[in-house]
Amino acid sequence: MGSSPSKDLLDRHAFRLDRQDPYLRVLCINIFVRDQDRSLRFYVDQLGFGLVVDESYESGGRWVAVAPPDGNTVLALVTPKRNTGEYKLIGRSQHAVLVTDDVMAKFVEWQKRGVRFHHPPQTTLWGGIFTRFDDLDGNSFMLVGRDDFVREIDAQRRAAAEKLEAERRTAQELEIAKQVQARLFPQKLPMLNTLEYAGMCIQAREVGGDYYDFLNLGQERIGLVMADTSGKGIGAALLMANLQANLRSQSAIALDQPERFLRSVNQLFYENTTDSAYATLFFAEYDDKARRLRYANCGHYPPLLLRRDDSLERLDSTCTVLGLFTEWDCLTRESQLFPGDTLVLYTDGITDSFNEAGEEFGEQRLIEALRRHRELSPQVMLVAIVDEVRHFSPHEQQDDITLIVATCRTN
């Protein structure tokens, strides 16, 4: 066999995706057989092909197709009606070529399964090895291989193995990062007499940029923190960790000098991040005895304060975001809480969630949910509100969902 069209079929450019021209490959080849069930068992049980489709139609026709393990080309097993031109083609197929990186191994394997070969594998002048075999109806197939194809397959296998290993390492590293970030959220809640509170963060990815915290400031006071860093994924998570470290390391001065505390946090965040990195932040110091909330809103969504009489207040911005400016200052404001008041802090993962019609959950739906569930404990209220958001937006979560609910106790 000095020359063969199969040599061209085996050329390495024949099985690579062409990135310049439109993609093109052979999808299906008809093999005419007498009995589809009998042939199906041959191709599946003896050759190790996979069943692609087996579907019967009301007209009485049946579509049966199989494919080799790589699945690139489908063989349709067609049983034509008698007295048709196609019926005469049963067993006449002579030109289908299968390629493998080990012809001898396939020869031995299939021969043991009863496949009828014309002859043992033979070498060719073009540097390959080939043999022929028949299916149950006499359709003939060529089984071929050659050195450069073997090398190409080996290279593809190595590349696939390296890709899988890289993906495994990435998944493992992300899982470790997820566990580390989970520890950055508050693990214990300082006990208060006049305020019951709880927080929750549901990340859209393994890690995210939303952050909430409860800082123990001493003297029966805590700091409520809600923040959202710029970006997504690992980058946002690193910013979140940086911000968390800055807040906790500087929190000793928050009680007496909240403006200085936030200026220091901004300066550190500015110095330790890139020019485009920033974070919105809401920080509030709650006095357990006086039921007083002293807060600064650094470009964050206004927290909602639902009063006992059902009136609503928004704790609007008092300064711009953290991290963009070295010359930065902020103002603080105060708000008195009364028994029965409920405070909600949230990130845009709540209000920006959208439904199939493209409508956002929005602030108004959040306010309505807050009013519906205000009699619940903060922990239960968190779950109820998040459930409403997920029911409204049932598709894949696009952004972190973070929420703090705090209720001023009646006693």
Whether the pLDDT of residue 14 is over 60: the answer is: no
Answer whether 314's CB lies under 8 Å from 303's CB.
Answer: yes
Answer whether 251's CB lies under 8 Å from 214's CB.
Answer: no
Per-residue pLDDT at 155: 74
Residue 297, H or E segment: strand 292-298
Average pLDDT, the chain: 87
DSSP output for 330-373: ---EEEE--TT-EEEEE-HHHHT-B-TTS-B-HHHHHHHHHHHT
Whether the pLDDT of residue 12 is over 60: the answer is: no
Whether the pLDDT of residue 2 is over 60: the answer is: no
Residue 353 CA to residue 362 CA, distance in Å, equals 8
Q: Give the neighbor-by-neighbor strand order of the sheet with 304-306.
A: 195-202, 401-408, 342-346, 304-306, 312-314
The tokens describing 54, both together, are: 């087996």
Mean of pLDDT values over 181-188: 78
Answer whether 144's CB lies under 8 Å from 10's CB.
Answer: yes
Cα 356 from chain centre? 19
What does the pLDDT look like over 339-393, one tens digit per residue?
999 999 999 999 999 988 889 999 999 999 999 999 999 999 999 999 999 999 9
Nearest CA-CA partner of 6 in 136, 105, 69, 94? 94
Strands (DSSP E) along 186-287, which ranges? Answer: 195-202, 210-218, 221-229, 279-287
Per-residue pLDDT at 284: 95
Whether the pLDDT of residue 9 is over 50: the answer is: no
The tokens describing 121, both together, are: 């594998």
Residue 235 CA to residue 244 CA, distance in Å, equals 14
Question: What residues does CATH 3.10.180.10 cover in the chain?
Answer: 5-155
Whether the pLDDT of residue 62 is over 50: the answer is: yes
Per-residue pLDDT at 337: 96
Cα 212 from chain centre? 23
Residue 328 CA to residue 322 CA, distance in Å, equals 8
Angle between helices 147-182 and 233-250 (to 10 degrees): 30
Per-residue pLDDT at 283: 96
Pick the CATH number of 184-408 from 3.30.70.3420, 3.40.50.11540, 3.40.50.720, 3.60.40.10: 3.60.40.10
Residue whose tokens read 């953290």 = 322
The tokens describing 273, both together, are: 């991040």
Per-residue pLDDT at 13: 41
Per-residue pLDDT at 255: 81
Out of 87-91, 201-205, 208-212, 241-245, pick the least confident: 201-205
The tokens describing 242, both together, are: 């940086």
CA-to-CA dists, residue 127 to 108, 145, 149, 274, angstroms: 21, 9, 11, 58
Question: What residues does CATH 3.60.40.10 cover in the chain?
Answer: 184-408
Please report which residue ranges of 114-257 form alpha helices under DSSP H.
147-182, 233-250
Residue 389 is which amino acid? V
**Quick one: fold of 5-155?**
2,3-Dihydroxybiphenyl 1,2-Dioxygenase; domain 1 (3.10.180)
